[in-house]
Structure formats: structure tokens, C-alpha cells
């Protein structure tokens, strides 16, 4: 009983750590259901306690969303019928949290009483469902963005070869995907742009920079189209370029707009000159003033100089300067700036009118003032005449925006206000305005409508009439008028006069017509958008087909796994890979569980499969780390190597893993061949060095024995001859000089022989030779040399030569470069290794000097040590010196007799 309670306690603790509900679900033979066991987390998913469903789980099923209840019942029935695992995703109506998404997994077992009992768990997946929906929306959005770009997008390989181009661009230039592939697109570039664009593209491929170029392409219509092409490098996590992707943007309209802007700017300059109105901009923050050409002309200031606010004030008439400055400061405080003042241009005084509009940033900070300057000198000069004209106009003009008329029926004459000229664009026609004048200008189609309205008014004896009709303007166009008139009758009711007003309503009519056209345009755009949506749908399907074709075109075997390890997509190379390795492509394709495949291979003794399965499970557990491993998989007729990589999709959303098997056999074979070649070169170098040493020894012996012997006999003969003759002093001096020259020649022979190969290295051994060379080094360089070596040291001739040459080269380098005053040479043996150290107190070897490409002495020392199974290290400290350490394994060191300090007896 105690163990049972303890087990129950463990179960409760384990269930509390599981992200969901651990439960048992029983289906009785009579169709009733219950939940014999459920963890406390049941309340979080269903709002029910475990004891509420222990005997009857109907309340739990009632919480299932009505739209999913049938589906849940079907999955339960199917699991019970086939006794297979139950898995379902459905919605639950939680009494406090609202609608939740849950996912259930369980395994059934049949009880003795006929009941079926499932054991499993249920967990909440609401957030995952939301992320899946967001991912689908994001994918649709990005595809729509790509297809909305005119001339579309493109994808290229790291070396610049084109892999894919949107159909919109292919249709423009009349190419197929095959003809556009690689560098086929180069054929449609304009001859003047081709070399520049291709050169820029190749430079970007080399540097990895953004490709941004404008060029012209030949369309199927025979014309040249301006296209902005922009491409960026797509890099993997190691910074390597995996693809190039970009867009082809139609900028023909932009080019036209640029040309239009240049034309508009020129037109604006001409218009400003005609209107005698210039423009200006004052940057308040920088106190920089910019004038248009017309402004420069108005103020009489040449172009090219630096303009400021003070420059502007200096041109103003002294009597107006304070007024203008105060007006500008008031404008900065928010008051209107529309002033007239005088300026001094040479000896001339001009009048100008200025207006300004202030420019602010998004935070309300004042940036600049934009204004215009109008030369109103001539207007000021005509002020008196214009004032009289305005007075007459105010007396004659009625309170209407159009014109007022008074028509006398009997005289067939009319008085018209000055608005006549404004409405009809004509002047001085008061004496000409009559009924015939009016009829001649009314649109014939509207004249019949006016006549009908007048007849109805006359029959109804109304005093007011209102009609709208068209009349011809002086410039020949038709304008719409609103005619409101009052009929003046005599006592008998006969019309004597018609007094009314004409108002130009052309703008209103144009607006109504524009509104109708806008409505028609809107309907056309709705139809166009509908067609565009259908087109994008077809493009999406085509993109999916292209994606599948692209994956199948990969040479490497690829599959995509879901969060449970199931294969959801493979390419053609994957199926071929499965067949080539005696596998069943169908059992290793979509629907198969890759973890099961790896586990089966691991049980068969494949250690690689164990590592791959562990990496997949780590990714499923949330550790999204890329995994890569090389393995050998031989076929019956050849050795093969592959590299397996596992990577996860980036970003939010359900876990997706990509498994890639890449054949690296050629690379591995090349590496092995390179290693074998390196080994052969080392053996050849060692052989050449041995041959060189043997040749040096041979030459040294011949020089010493032959030439040295000859010189010795010559010296002996001369000495004997001199002793046997009685020579006078000059002749005796001559013979003494000859004997001195023979002695010098003998010393030279000894020096050359020792330089080629010291004879004592073969006779007295390494220790004596190093002591002899160190002593000679001290005599020649003046550098104090201390030698600490074993008294006896037995090595093979090859090792003797190598150690001596390394010490010799080290001392040579010290004499040439170190500027040292002392050198210590140390040799000792320990644990079967010979250690040689050559240290100086010179300037110290720098890191840059150590890695010079022409440091052949250092390279030779390293190669000698490595060939004999040892190694060489050099440590330099600036200002403190350099220490060279050589470590070589001894030959037959186990059989040598040694002392405690590592010294051994020289057996030679």
C-alpha cells in the first residue's frame, strides 16, 4: 500500500510538469463514456475537475465546439474500430477562457468487459494555430508583393547564372526560361548598356555588394524599355552567398516623369519670367536662401553668390526694411506674410509683393519658408487708373458672381453689367446685346428646351423662371449657364421686361461629369482588380509548381520533416538515393517517420544514424541548432562519402527541418590525393637533402684529400728546397712569401671542406662538431656562445646531420638579424626525445618576420624536423631575444644506457 501511494504521488508530480492533461478515456459497451483518470490540468483546458468526469464524461464532450464534435466522435470511433492510435485537433469552449484549440494523443486497449480504454494526453495548441494562420497570411502577402511588381523578380546562382525570372519580364522580352537562364538575358540589353550592366553585375558577384543598375531591354514590340534592376546577395548563417535575388522594375513611366519634370521646370522658369514672379526658399536652420532665376532678375543680384536672410534685407529700401523684418518675424510667430514693399536695384526703385508659406517637420519644428516674389512696379504705377475703374465696377456690379441683365421687349435691347465680359469673354457689346444676339449663341439643342419652359411659365402666368442651358463663349467653347429671371408685366399681363442674372456653372457641370466618369472608372477598376486577383491565384499555383521543380532539380538528396519527425516532402534525388542504397523509395518518402528509419539503422549498428536521430530529437525539443556530419557509404563498385546536414526553418511557426545528403566523394578523393602528393614531396625533399649532404661530404673529402694533399707536398718541397740552398736576402724573402701563400691556401681548403661538411661530424660526433662550430662562430662574430650538452650522445647519421644543420642555420640567422651579444646552446634527452634549444638576447623575432614568404631558412628547419618525426618552435620577445626549440625522437632509445639526467653513452 505504501508503494502504491508513493507511485501515485510520483504520478501526480509528473503530471504537474507535463504541458497538458494526462488522462484515461473509457468507452463502455453501451456507448457511455467516462474518464477514470485525469490530471489537475483538466480545468485549464475544459474548465472541469477530474472528479466531474470520472464516472461520466458527457460534460467534457459538451465542451467540444459544436463544429468539431462530429469529427471528434468519428476519430474516437475509428480508433476503437481499428485499435490504432487516436490523434485529433479540435476546439473547446472553455467557460472562462473562451474558445481554445487542443490536440490529443492516446493509445487504445480492449478491456475484458468489452470496454475500450485509451491512455494519452491532451494539450493546448491555440497559440500554434494562431501562428500557422499568421504564417499563411504572411506567405500570401509576400507572394502578392512579388507578383505585383511589374516585370517581376529573378533568382540567380552565387556565380551569377540566372535560375529563374518572372513571366512578366519573359513576356516583355520574348524569352523563355531556358533562353534567359545563365546569362541569356544579356542578349536583350541595349548595345550601349550591355557592357556597363554586365561589368557591374560581375563586380557585384565578386564583392557581394548590392547590384543597382538602370538599363534598356528590347521588348517583343521592337521598342526599348527602361528597367531598374536591383539584386542583393542571400547568405547563409556562415556568411556564404547561396543565391542572388532581385527585381526588374519598370521605370519607363519614371523616365517620362523625369523628362516631364525637366520640361516643367523649364516651363516654370519661362512662366515666372512672363508673370514677372519669382520663387524662393529660406532654410531657417542653416540661414540659407535660394532664389529662382526670375527672383535674381527682380532683385538684380547675380547668380552664384551665397545668399542669406541678411542679403535679402540689404536689397530692401531703407524706409521699408524695418517693416519687412518685423513682418517676417511675425510670420515666424504664425501670422500671415503677404506684404508689398520697395527694393533698390542699382539706381532704380521697384515694388514687389511677397507671400510665404512655412514648412514644419513632423514634430512641429520650423524648417523653412517657401515664398514667391511678384514684380508689381507697373501695377503700382497704374494704381490711380485702376482705382477709378474699381469704383465704377462697384457701382455697376450687382451682388452676383455672374452678370445682370435687363431686357426691354419692345426695344429689343438689353443692359448688361460688367460681368458680361467675365462670363462670355467679350467687351463693349452693350449696344449689340439683343434677343437675336442671345439666340445666336445658345446651343440649338437647349433652345427648344428653353422655349418649352417659357411656354409653360407663360401659360401658368408665373413671374419667375429658372433654366440651365449652354451658350458659346468667345473662345468657341460651350459653357453652362444658370439663368434666373423675373418677368415684369403690364396691367394686362403682357411681358414688358425680363430682369435676371446669368451665372457660369460650367465648373459644377464639369464636376458632375467627372463624378460620372469616376464612377465608371471605379467599376472598371473593380473588374480589373478581380481579374488581377484571378491572375495572382494562377501565378501562385505556377510558383508552387516552380518551387517543386526547383527542389527536384537539386543534385543533393533533400527531405523536409515536421515536428514529429515525419517526412512531408522529398525531391527526386532523395528517391534515387534511397533506391541506390537498396531502400524502398515509397517507405522513405512522404508519410514515413525519419526517426523510425534512423532508429532501425542504429539498431543495425549504424552509429551515424544514432547521432542523426539524436540531433532531430534535440531540434524537436526546442534546441534549433544546425547539425552536420560526414559519413562513408560505399557502393559495391566504389567508395563514396556524403555529408548530412540538418537545419531548421527560421522564424516563428511550426517546426520544419531540412535533411540534406550531399555527395562529397570527389572532394574526399581529391583531399586524399593531395595528402599523398604532399607525402611524396616530403620524401623527395628528404631524399634531395640526403643526396646534397652526401655530395657535400664527397666534395669535402676530395678537396681535403686531393687539393689539401697537393698543397702539403708543395709546401714540403718548397721548404726542403729553401733549406738546401744558400739564398740571398731578396730571394729568401720571395720563397718565404710563397710558403705563406701555400699556408693560406691550406687554411682555405680546410675552411671550404669544413663548410661543405665538417669531417668531425662523421668521426667525432655531433657534440664535438657543435662545440667546434660554436667556438668558430664566437671567433668570427664576437658573440659569446655557451654550450650545454651531454658528454656523449649517440644518434643516427641522418639525425646528426639534421641537428647540426638546424643549429648552424640558427646561428647564421642570429649573426645576420638578432644584434645579440650572447647565445646559449642547450641539448638534453628525456623520455626518448632529444631537445635542442638555441636562445639569444637580441632584438627578438617579430610575428611578421616569422611568416615572410621568403624565410626559406625557417622553412627548411621546420621541414627537417617534421621529416624526422619532430617539431620546431620559435618564440620571440621584442627587445629580449629569440628562443628556438627542436624536439626529435631518438632512435633505439629504449636500448641505450642512460643516466638519470637523460645523458647517454655515445656508442660510436
Tell me the range of 559-568, 667-676, 740-749 where mean pLDDT is highest: 559-568
What is the predicted pLDDT for the residue at 830?
A: 81
Mean pLDDT across 325-332: 88
What is the separation of C-alpha 256 from the centre of its chain, rounded to a whole number of angstroms?
31
Measured distance CA(279)–CA(272) in Å, rounded: 8
DSSP-derived 3-state class of residue 173: helix
Block residue for cell numbers 423675373 = 486
Is the distance from CB of 618 to CB of 595 less than 8 angstroms? no
- Quickly list H helices, 553-664: 572-580, 594-603, 607-620
pLDDT exceeds cutoff 80 at 142? no
Long-range contacts of 744-751 (CB under 8 A, 24+ apart): 745/711, 746/708, 746/711, 746/712, 746/715, 749/703, 749/704, 749/707, 749/708, 749/711, 750/704, 750/708
Among 820, 819, 809, which Cα is nearest to 884's?
809
pLDDT exceeds cutoff 60 at 908? no
For the ranges 161-175, 411-425, 435-449, the lowest mean pLDDT is seen at 411-425
What is the predicted pLDDT for the residue at 892?
A: 42
For the ranges 378-392, 402-416, 691-705, 828-842, the lowest mean pLDDT is seen at 691-705
pLDDT exceeds cutoff 60 at 890? yes
Measured distance CA(59)–CA(75) in Å, rounded: 19
DSSP-derived 3-state class of residue 906: coil
* Cα radius of gyration rounded to whole Å, the chain: 52
Model confidence at 907, pLDDT cuts 50, 70, 90, reads very low
Axis crossing angle, helix 729-756 with helix 665-702, rounded to the nearest 10 = 160
Model confidence at 59, pLDDT cuts 50, 70, 90, reads very high
Measured distance CA(740)–CA(732) in Å, rounded: 12
Measured distance CA(514)–CA(667) in Å, rounded: 72
Beta strands in 236-345 (DSSP E): 241-250, 277-283, 288-291, 338-345
pLDDT digits (tens, 9 = 90+) for 605-635: 888 888 888 888 888 888 767 888 888 877 6
pLDDT exceeds cutoff 90 at 895? no
Beta strands in 39-146 (DSSP E): 86-94, 98-110, 116-124
pLDDT exceeds cutoff 70 at 149? no
Tell me the range of 700-714, 751-765, 824-838 where mean pLDDT is highest: 824-838
What is the predicted pLDDT for the residue at 893?
A: 40
Strand 33-38: give its sheet, edge to edge. Answer: 33-38, 21-27, 116-124, 98-110, 86-94
More confident residue, 700 or 28: 28
DSSP state of 794: -
What is the predicted pLDDT for the residue at 136?
A: 82
CB-based burial label for 602 (10 Å; 0-12, 13-18, 19+) = middle
DSSP letters, 679-747, are: HHHHHHHHHHHHHHHHHHHHHHHHIIIIIHHHHHHHHHHHHHHHHHS---HHHHHHHHHHHHHHHHHHH
What is the predicted pLDDT for the residue at 430?
A: 47
pLDDT exceeds cutoff 60 at 875? yes
What is the predicted pLDDT for the residue at 669?
A: 80
CB-based burial label for 307 (10 Å; 0-12, 13-18, 19+) = buried
Cβ neighbours around 572 below 10 Å, total:
16
Mean pLDDT across 627-656: 80
Measured distance CA(310)–CA(325) in Å, rounded: 10
Block residue for cell numbers 671567433 = 779
What is the predicted pLDDT for the residue at 409?
A: 84
Mean pLDDT across 195-212: 90
Q: Please, what is the average pLDDT of the chain? A: 82
- Quickly list H helices, 400-505: 419-424, 435-441, 444-460
What is the predicted pLDDT for the residue at 51?
A: 92
What is the predicted pLDDT for the residue at 119?
A: 93
Beta strands in 346-455 (DSSP E): 348-360, 366-375, 403-408, 413-416
Block residue for cell numbers 481579374 = 531
**Grid cell at residue 237:** 548563417
Model confidence at 711, pLDDT cuts 50, 70, 90, reads low
DSSP-derived 3-state class of residue 232: strand
pLDDT digits (tens, 9 = 90+) for 432-476: 677 888 888 889 888 888 888 888 888 888 888 899 889 888 888
Helix, strand, coil shares of the chain, percent, nearest 5, are: 50, 25, 25
**Grid cell at residue 790:** 651531454
pLDDT exceeds cutoff 70 at 479? yes
What is the predicted pLDDT for the residue at 824?
A: 92
What is the predicted pLDDT for the residue at 900?
A: 36
Measured distance CA(142)–CA(4) in Å, rounded: 58
Model confidence at 8, pLDDT cuts 50, 70, 90, reads low
Block residue for cell numbers 516674389 = 373
Q: Which residues contact 515 (CB under 8 A, 6 or more apart)?
A: none
What is the predicted pLDDT for the residue at 823?
A: 92
Among 434, 410, 438, 500, which Cα is nearest to 464's?
500
pLDDT exceeds cutoff 90 at 273? no
Measured distance CA(115)–CA(83) in Å, rounded: 12
CA distances from 759 to 394, 729, 769, 780, 792 (A): 133, 41, 9, 20, 18
Amino acid at each position: 500500500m505504501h508503494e502504491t501511494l508513493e507511485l501515485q504521488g510520483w504520478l501526480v508530480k509528473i503530471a504537474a510538469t507535463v504541458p497538458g492533461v494526462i488522462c484515461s478515456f473509457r468507452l463502455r459497451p453501451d456507448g457511455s463514456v467516462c474518464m477514470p483518470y485525469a490530471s489537475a490540468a483538466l480545468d485549464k483546458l475544459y474548465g472541469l475537475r477530474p472528479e466531474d468526469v470520472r464516472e461520466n464524461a458527457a460534460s467534457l464532450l459538451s465542451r467540444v465546439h459544436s463544429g468539431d464534435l462530429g469529427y471528434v466522435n468519428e476519430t474516437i470511433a475509428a480508433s476503437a474500430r481499428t485499435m490504432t492510435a487516436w490523434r485529433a485537433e479540435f476546439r473547446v469552449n472553455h467557460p472562462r477562457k473562451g474558445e481554445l484549440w487542443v490536440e490529443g494523443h492516446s493509445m487504445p486497449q480492449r478491456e475484458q468487459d468489452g470496454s475500450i480504454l485509451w491512455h494519452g494526453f491532451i494539450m493546448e495548441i491555440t497559440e500554434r494555430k494562431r501562428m500557422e494562420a499568421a504564417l499563411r497570411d504572411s506567405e500570401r502577402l509576400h507572394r502578392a508583393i512579388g507578383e505585383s511588381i511589374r516585370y517581376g523578380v529573378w533568382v540567380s546562382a552565387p556565380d551569377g547564372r540566372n535560375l529563374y525570372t518572372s513571366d512578366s519580364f519573359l513576356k516583355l522580352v520574348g524569352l523563355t526560361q531556358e533562353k534567359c537562364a545563365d546569362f541569356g538575358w544579356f542578349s536583350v540589353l541595349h548595345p550601349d548598356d550591355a557592357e556597363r550592366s554586365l561589368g557591374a553585375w560581375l563586380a557585384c558577384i565578386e564583392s557581394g555588394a548590392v547590384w543597382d543598375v538602370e538599363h534598356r531591354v528590347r521588348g517583343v514590340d521592337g521598342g526599348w524599355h527602361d528597367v531598374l534592376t536591383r539584386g542583393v546577395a542571400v547568405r547563409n548563417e556562415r556568411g556564404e552567398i547561396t543565391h542572388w535575388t532581385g527585381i526588374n522594375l519598370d521605370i519607363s513611366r519614371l523616365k517620362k516623369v523625369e523628362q516631364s519634370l525637366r520640361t516643367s521646370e523649364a516651363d516654370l522658369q519661362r512662366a515666372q519670367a512672363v508673370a514677372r514672379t519669382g520663387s524662393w526658399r529660406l532654410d531657417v536652420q542653416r540661414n540659407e536662401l535660394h532664389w529662382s532665376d526670375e527672383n535674381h532678375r527682380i532683385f538684380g543680384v547675380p547668380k552664384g553668390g551665397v545668399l542669406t536672410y541678411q542679403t535679402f534685407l540689404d536689397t530692401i529700401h531703407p524706409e521699408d526694411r524695418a517693416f519687412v523684418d518685423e513682418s517676417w518675424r511675425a510670420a515666424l510667430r504664425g501670422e500671415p506674410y503677404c506684404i508689398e514693399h520697395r527694393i533698390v536695384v542699382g539706381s532704380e526703385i521697384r515694388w514687389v509683393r511677397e507671400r510665404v508659406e512655412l514648412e514644419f517637420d513632423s514634430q512641429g519644428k520650423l524648417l523653412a519658408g517657401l515664398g514667391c516674389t511678384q514684380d508689381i512696379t507697373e501695377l503700382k504705377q497704374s494704381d490711380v487708373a485702376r482705382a477709378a475703374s474699381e469704383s465704377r465696377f462697384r457701382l455697376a456690379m450687382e451682388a452676383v458672381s455672374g452678370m445682370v441683365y435687363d431686357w426691354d421687349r419692345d426695344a429689343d435691347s438689353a443692359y448688361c453689367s460688367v460681368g458680361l465680359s467675365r462670363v462670355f469673354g467679350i467687351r463693349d457689346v452693350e449696344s449689340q446685346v439683343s434677343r437675336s444676339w442671345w439666340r445666336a449663341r445658345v446651343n440649338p439643342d437647349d433652345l427648344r428646351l428653353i422655349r418649352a419652359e417659357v411656354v409653360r411659365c407663360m401659360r401658368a402666368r408665373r413671374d419667375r423662371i429658372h433654366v440651365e442651358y449652354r451658350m458659346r463663349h468667345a473662345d468657341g467653347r460651350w459653357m453652362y449657364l444658370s439663368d434666373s429671371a423675373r418677368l415684369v408685366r403690364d396691367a394686362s399681363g403682357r411681358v414688358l421686361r425680363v430682369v435676371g442674372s446669368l451665372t457660369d456653372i460650367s465648373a459644377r457641370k464639369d464636376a458632375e461629369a467627372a463624378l460620372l466618369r469616376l464612377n465608371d472608372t471605379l467599376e472598371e477598376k473593380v473588374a480589373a482588380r478581380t481579374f488581377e486577383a484571378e491572375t495572382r491565384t494562377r501565378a501562385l499555383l505556377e510558383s508552387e509548381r516552380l518551387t517543386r521543380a526547383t527542389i527536384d532539380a537539386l543534385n543533393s538528396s533533400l527531405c523536409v520533416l515536421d515536428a514529429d519527425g515525419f517526412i512531408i516532402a522529398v525531391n527526386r534525388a532523395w528517391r534515387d538515393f534511397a533506391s541506390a542504397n537498396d531502400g524502398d523509395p515509397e517507405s522513405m518518402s512522404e508519410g514515413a517517420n525519419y526517426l523510425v528509419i534512423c532508429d532501425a539503422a542504429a539498431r543495425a549498428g549504424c552509429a551515424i544514424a544514432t547521432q542523426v536521430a539524436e540531433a532531430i530529437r534535440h531540434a524537436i525539443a526546442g534546441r534549433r541548432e544546425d547539425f552536420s556530419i560526414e559519413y562513408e557509404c560505399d557502393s559495391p563498385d566504389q567508395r563514396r562519402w556524403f555529408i548530412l546536414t540538418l537545419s531548421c526553418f527560421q522564424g516563428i511557426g511550426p517546426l520544419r527541418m531540412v535533411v540534406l545528403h550531399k555527395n562529397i566523394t570527389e572532394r574526399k578523393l581529391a583531399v586524399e590525393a593531395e595528402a599523398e602528393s604532399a607525402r611524396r614531396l616530403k620524401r623527395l625533399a628528404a631524399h634531395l637533402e640526403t643526396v646534397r649532404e652526401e655530395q657535400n661530404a664527397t666534395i669535402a673529402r676530395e678537396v681535403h684529400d686531393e687539393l689539401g694533399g697537393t698543397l702539403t707536398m708543395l709546401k714540403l718541397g718548397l721548404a726542403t728546397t729553401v733549406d738546401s740552398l744558400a739564398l740571398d736576402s731578396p730571394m729568401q724573402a720571395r720563397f718565404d712569401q710563397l710558403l705563406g701563400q701555400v699556408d693560406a691556401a691550406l687554411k682555405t681548403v680546410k675552411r671550404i671542406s669544413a663548410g661543405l661538411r665538417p669531417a668531425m661530424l662523421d668521426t667525432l660526433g655531433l657534440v664535438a662538431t657543435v662545440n667546434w662550430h660554436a667556438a668558430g662562430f664566437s671567433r668570427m662574430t664576437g658573440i659569446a656562445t655557451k654550450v650545454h650538452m651531454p658528454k656523449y650522445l649517440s644518434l643516427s647519421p641522418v639525425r646528426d646531420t639534421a641537428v647540426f644543420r638546424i643549429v648552424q642555420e640558427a646561428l647564421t640567422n642570429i649573426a645576420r638579424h638578432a644584434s645579440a651579444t650572447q647565445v646559449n646552446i642547450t641539448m638534453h634527452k628525456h623520455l626518448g626525445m632529444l631537445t635542442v634549444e638555441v636562445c639569444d638576447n637580441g632584438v627578438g623575432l617579430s610575428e611578421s618576420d616569422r611568416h615572410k614568404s621568403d624565410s626559406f631558412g625557417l622553412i627548411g628547419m621546420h621541414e627537417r624536423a617534421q621529416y624526422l618525426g619532430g617539431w620546431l618552435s620559435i618564440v620571440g620577445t621584442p627587445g629580449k631575444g629569440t628562443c628556438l626549440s627542436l624536439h626529435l625522437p631518438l632512435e633505439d632509445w629504449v636500448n641505450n644506457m642512460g643516466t638519470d639526467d637523460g645523458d647517454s653513452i655515445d656508442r660510436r
